[in-house]
Structure 1
């Protein structure tokens, strides 16, 4: 690809990103934006960054510093950089696909699938999820450098290999889930590179040392997740407290895998939070079906290796970045749209390979129509991220079985002084998980506004007794205010008599 053509492709992807995601400029701070950006001194200045008062993902914090100086607490200004990273990721995918042997028109189509898919809305529309965009960008820089290095010799090989290593290190600073990138490099050597160009697979000792270093880093980074408490954390998020065994988590991970495949095909009903019905049983139809689909995809990957090696690479790409978020080792949420940001390029590669193999004008036209539909759905999904209220009120319609969603939407209604709805959703959150202490706090505040002081005191007392571990400052405030509230309740009872 010539320099002029590269610039044209880059501008095309940046323009497409603005068209599809431009309505996010109207959006307010949502989800984790306030604690990650607005209230985080590490993201406001280099001095604060060095002090590191809130340890997190350093690369993401660095990118916020110039924006904070330029735009302060106005989120619209932050979105210029947000959209730029996403557009550049689409452009880099075209370059990487091209290096692997995908012709330009099909590389463009595969990268566009990645760019406009509604599952990307969470990562692009929510500023605190910039970590996903940064991780993919530097992962692609690393992969591009590695593939170029394999095709060169002498000083140029050393230079591109340095780019590959540096890209990987920086990607890790953005998000540690990219730890599996070396597995993708191995798959690239297996399925996307002639034998004579291979580096790791032709040097077993180098491969073994690299694997040992990656394994050691992996164990160190995720050491805190290999604990029974982490397992219970995931179970609690899914309102499941009936078991401490690993089986419910494994079956839930399988169900989530099928859920991802379904949302890739039909990306509607998306939300920032999903829950799954967990059970300590092998007889779970959706989990078994999802596990079967996983086996089928692995089989296709293996069997397609000779005739369509890049199809195998695309499937393998998906698996490589699904593994860290699969919760086969308990990490966080069983499913989240943002977890697909690193996985979808693999789907885009697989689709590009299939389109190139078919070379059918009708199929290509149909695919372009699908891309247009996906772009429209993405623009609609961006709108749900307009404010905290629109986000969670949509989320509760999509996922009413989540205690966290019910509790958060209860707070949303409380903030708009719709106390009856706040009470209803807070009670539903408690019904789903009686240990959701924050729901008791929201319920208490709503009941107090409604003048139901007896219910308010009862729920404040529960929060003060059990909410201190998760919310120490708020529990202390409630404890301090309870005597006055009890006096008001006593006076109310006296007046009623």
Structure 2
């Protein structure tokens, strides 16, 4: 199967930009939230080319480069940064239509698959969170790489070589935007296996060579990121889920399976979304939800293989989803077990599954139901964007969704502290410490809340705990607290005399 040109590109681009502005336009009223302040506002690398060259805060260079014009034009006003956010997301919608069309999907069904991707509520975090522009840019370059590779099969001679080189360059851009695109070459292999006649294949013309290349690349990656296999990385993931009972790998594996099932449920029913999720981890083999999710994973993978001849588009969509799920699966411990933004690279596969099914069964009721789902999802996304309006709205919604997270509890406690509700701040900080007594920042939040409530003894006690346990992780704040403690102890002594 070879690529065909996409008609009416300019009209389609305007259409996708209009849809993006309609669904995500309310984010222009949002403030800086979540990771925006450290990644964008206080990152000197993102403010000028000179700062970028100094690289004082190593991160994702492609993302930082795009922040520089935003900073020069808009300074510390987040609304201006959102122009790029929405533009990249809309362009990704157009590129998806181009890719689906190149794979043989008729234009109306390609549009519906891309619209599902564009307006799905899981996308709200990536679009509303300016710090998560890395997801938008990574997909932009990944789609460009795949389009070039697919187009190369309809080209010859120098043009084919140019498309291969362009695909490699785009892959490099994707990696510079987000390392989660490391598995992108597997998409090229999957395309050849499903869509290209054996005699026209390039990467799979010699399967043994391709296999050896993948093994060598995998070994190189494992060596490059060998630190991720260290026990401390495992414990980092465990600590985010308030689990410290073991250094065994089994709880991580079972947690990753729970997260996979969680993703499938949120794709189908995208409600109660939040920036942080926790999972109950255990060393037990008998974990019904994890085992059910493992069964679902096996079923999904089996379906991709079973449908490869009858419904190759659906098989390719499933494969795309699984290929981009692997880097964020935490089968190798990296970070959070689940996050909405992790689905940004995966959801094009879901869109292709829908487009492939619509092309195979273009019944009026099926098409109508798909349109209704897209409209409902768009409405849910508008609502979800509203939760990202400020730090206070974001975390107060998050604690309703995820009350068992110590980090959510501590952050919402800080939110109440900043807005003067010291009783709620103390209550949430105490709950954060009940869930995990090693949540160091919760001691600081609790100390500040109790000080403002006039409970100086409690404040001194928790300030002392913060300086005792937090000196290594928060050296500057711990030093400031040490300097402040003598003053507070004097106030405490005076308070006792008047009681």
Q: What TM-score does the superposition give when structure 1 sets the normalisation length?
A: 0.98
- 2:82 equivalent to 1:79: yes
Aligned ranges 1:25-424 → 2 under 5 Å:
25-204=28-207, 207-208=210-211, 210-212=213-215, 214-424=217-427
- Give the whole-Å Cα distance in 2 for the aligned partners of 1:4 and 1:367: 23
- Give the whole-Å Cα distance in 1 for the aligned partners of 2:359 and 2:7: 24
- Give the whole-Å Cα distance in 2 for the aligned partners of 1:364 and 1:193: 29
How far residue 220 of structure 1 moved from its aligned partner, in angstroms, is 4.4
Aligned ranges 1:426-445 → 2 under 5 Å:
426-445=429-448
Query: 1:331 aligns to what SS in structure 2?
Result: coil
Q: Which position in structure 1 is the counterpart of 2:428?
A: 425
- 8 Å Cα contact 2:6/2:98 also seen in 1: no
How far residue 224 of structure 1 moved from its aligned partner, in angstroms, is 2.3
Query: 1:53 aligns to what SS in structure 2?
Result: coil
- Give the whole-Å Cα distance in 1 for the aligned partners of 2:6 and 2:197: 26
How far residue 212 of structure 1 moved from its aligned partner, in angstroms, is 5.0
- Give the whole-Å Cα distance in 2 for the aligned partners of 1:356 and 1:333: 36
- Give the whole-Å Cα distance in 2 for the aligned partners of 1:291 and 1:205: 30
**CA 1:283–1:203 in structure 2 vs 1: closer, same or farther (change >3 Å)?**
same
- Give the whole-Å Cα distance in 2 for the aligned partners of 1:108 and 1:457: 61
Q: What TM-score does the superposition give when structure 2 sets the normalisation length?
A: 0.97
- 8 Å Cα contact 2:6/2:101 also seen in 1: no
How far residue 196 of structure 1 moved from its aligned partner, in angstroms, is 3.0
- 8 Å Cα contact 2:93/2:118 also seen in 1: yes
Query: 2:498 aligns to what SS in structure 1?
Result: helix
- Give the whole-Å Cα distance in 1 for the aligned partners of 2:198 and 2:97: 23
For structure 2, the 5+ residue unaligned runs are none
**CA 1:345–1:273 in structure 2 vs 1: closer, same or farther (change >3 Å)?**
same
Deviations for 1:72-131, whole angstroms, at most 9, x for unmatched residues? Answer: 000000001110100011110111111111111111111111000000000000000000
For structure 1, the 5+ residue unaligned runs are none
Query: 1:280 aligns to what SS in structure 2?
Result: coil
- 8 Å Cα contact 2:48/2:68 also seen in 1: yes
- 8 Å Cα contact 1:150/1:199 also seen in 2: no
How far residue 203 of structure 1 moved from its aligned partner, in angstroms, is 3.3
**CA 1:217–1:45 in structure 2 vs 1: closer, same or farther (change >3 Å)?**
farther
Deviations for 1:335-370, whole angstroms, at most 9, x for unmatched residues? Answer: 000000000000110111011000112211111011
- 8 Å Cα contact 1:24/1:386 also seen in 2: yes
Query: 2:283 aligns to what SS in structure 1?
Result: coil
Deviations for 1:123-174, whole angstroms, at most 9, x for unmatched residues? Answer: 0000000000000000000000011112211011011111100000010000
Tell me the number of residue pairs that the alignment of Structure 1 and Structure 2 aligns: 496
How far residue 216 of structure 1 moved from its aligned partner, in angstroms, is 4.7
